């Protein structure tokens, strides 16, 4: 099934929606040209639950886990999240700037949040991602390429590619060859 984007609102139709307050406007004249694939699990290496939603909505309980005390004050978000079962959640309208990449650079351009879509996959660097996650990610990327022609398969990168030395996700377990085959 194809994804449908309401171009006025920036929201995908028919997907789970959990609005994050952590976004702002893209700079004037800035086009979407990049997709950044991330990996996330909260707590690290554990899957399931509502912790990702809580992180992106500033409601993560710092007392719920020792790791959460370190990150609960962060103000971060992503446009989309694909959990281990393939369920797609949207946090930020696609035409707005989500706060996912941090200090970053792509092809000598700083501030990748300005011109990218951030997609989080529920996973960990050294654990294989689920088949359904690849399928859903490819479906999303095909829609993004159709909507924003400046995005090409070469402009689908990992967080580690735009923030080397600082970030490692989606990690060595992520199969880039498989993804590129699925979006072709």
Average pLDDT over residues 39-48: 97
pTM of the predicted model, to two decimals? 0.98
Q: What is the pLDDT of residues 157-170, one digit of tens each?
A: 999 999 999 999 99
Q: What is the DSSP string of 52-63?
A: HHHHHTT---TT
CATH domain 24-40+77-183 topology: Lysozyme-like (3.40.80)
What distance separates the 2 farthest-apart alpha carbons in the chain? Answer: 44
Average pLDDT over residues 150-162: 97
Average pLDDT over residues 24-47: 97
pLDDT at 94 over 90: yes
Confidence band, pLDDT 50/70/90 cuts, at residue 1: confident
Q: How far is CA 79 from the centre of its chain?
A: 6
Angle, CA 42 vertex, CA 59 and CA 12 arms, to 5°: 70
Paired residues of 17 in beta bridges: 90
Torsion of the alpha carbons at 85, 20, 120 and 35, rounded to the nearest 10? 130
| Cβ contact 83:120 at 8 Å | no
Active-site annotation, residues: 120
> E-strand spans in 55-99?
80-82, 88-90, 97-98
The pLDDT > 70 percentage for the chain reads 100
Structure tokens at 27: 């700079």
- CA distances from residue 58 to 39, 41, 71, 167, 182 in whole angstroms, order as listed: 19, 16, 10, 22, 34
pLDDT at 23 over 90: yes
Q: What is the pLDDT of residues 66-91, one digit of tens each?
A: 999 999 999 999 999 999 999 999 99
């Amino acid at each position: 099934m194809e994804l449908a984007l309401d171009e006025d609102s920036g929201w995908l139709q028919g997907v789970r929606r959990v609005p994050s307050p952590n976004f702002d406007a893209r700079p004037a004249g800035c086009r979407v040209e990049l997709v950044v694939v991330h990996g996330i699990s909260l707590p690290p290496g554990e899957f399931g639950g509502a912790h990702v939603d809580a992180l992106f909505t500033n409601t993560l309980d710092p007392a719920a886990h020792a790791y959460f005390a370190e990150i609960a004050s962060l103000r971060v978000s992503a446009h989309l999240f694909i959990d281990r079962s393939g369920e797609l959640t949207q946090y930020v309208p696609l035409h707005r700037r989500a706060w996912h990449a941090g200090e970053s650079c792509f092809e000598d351009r700083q501030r990748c949040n300005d011109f990218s879509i951030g997609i989080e996959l529920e996973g960990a660097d050294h654990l294989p991602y689920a088949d359904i996650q690849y399928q859903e990610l490819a479906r999303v990327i095909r829609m993004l390429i159709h909507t924003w022609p400046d995005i090409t398969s070469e402009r689908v990168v990992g967080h580690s590619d735009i923030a080397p030395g600082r970030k490692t996700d989606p990690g060595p377990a992520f199969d880039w060859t498989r993804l590129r085959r699925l979006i072709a």
